[in-house]
Structure 1
Amino acid sequence: MRDARFLSLEGGEGAGKSTQARALAAALAARGIDAVVTREPGGSEGAEAIRALLMQGEATRWSAQSEALLFAAARADHVEKVIRPALAAGQWVLCDRYIDSTRAYQGVAGGVDDAAILALHAFGSGGLLPDRTFWLALPEELGATRAATRDGVAADRFARRGRDFHAAVADAFSRFAAAEPQRFHRIDATLPPEAVTQAMLDALADWLP
């Protein structure tokens, strides 16, 4: 059985993470690799219940600190019930958002200390990090346009936040990628979807049959 791998897809609104997670899973399946596609917040029954609390309502429903706690609780259940069992079974896991989204949205953009977020992650999820993280980089204006086209009036609490907030999120991912070049791979999300998928496959070439 091939070694299991844990991959996360990160980025701002409208970057195409969900679409690309499914496309990458299909490309891996064509190479004989079984991959579980999951998401955050959510992915397990308990985490999906918390997702409803986080994503619905007014933008001011929760403070950044409260959000960080809720995300940590959702992630703890997700890791315990889905991610670790899949990895133990030899499967690859592709996660649409993970800890770096909390660090970007609640941390850099929301003002919560990064060390506090990582401490919550260490307690709740054993500090589990992806083997590789794909940052789907997209200009904030283009991401906002794509997200508006996708969501219309159904945009969630985070998508509805202002331009300064989303600019801070984009800056956060850029900083994370610079600080952890071995884990982060910047992917140009302005490329056609097929080219984005291929860029991720190219970044996995050392692990692929």
Structure 2
Amino acid sequence: MIEKITLTKIGPYQEHWATIYIDPNNSYSAGGGRITVVMGDYVGSAFFSHVGQPTFKEFIAQCDPEYLIRKLFKVDQWIPVENGEEFIEYVALERLDAIKEHRSSGTVTKAALRELYDELKSSEFTNTSHLYDILYKTERETMESIFGDDWWFELNPSKINRIYTFLDSMLTDVIAEFKKLNEVTA
């Protein structure tokens, strides 16, 4: 029998809602079943056939948000940067030492870095190969000086996925509710 659970005042600012449908199914294991989670624009569903817990609610209560995000929504925590500003932010956070090293050794000039910065800040691209294609030869040479000849292939600049962050906050509250439900029935 499918059970419907509605939660309100959840998420990062306690202003969101979720509707959860639980369909216990002990065909394969005592605690197996299907969970469907509806949270506004995001809907995820997964079937868990072989679990070690005696009930499906206990299984959900012991899950961590990262696991449920992967199973229900198939959303990655990190996604590629999509514009020059995000690329600059990635470089500033992850690769600043390389830039400082090349700047202090004289292999990259301040003027070359400024040209690269000016070109990057207004760029939009789908991946680093696309960025390689849209950069002028001088800016590509600056990138090669800092990150190596195959930077466009090996460098994978990424940023945190805001959807993942949102789902993580929401599922943390959903799991907390299942923990409360298990305490009440115990």
Answer 1 or 2: which has greater strand percent. 2
Same fold (TM over 0.5): no
User: What TM-score range do you get, normalising by the shorter chain?
Assistant: under 0.3
Structure with more of its chain in helix, by fraction: 1
TM-score (norm 2): 0.25
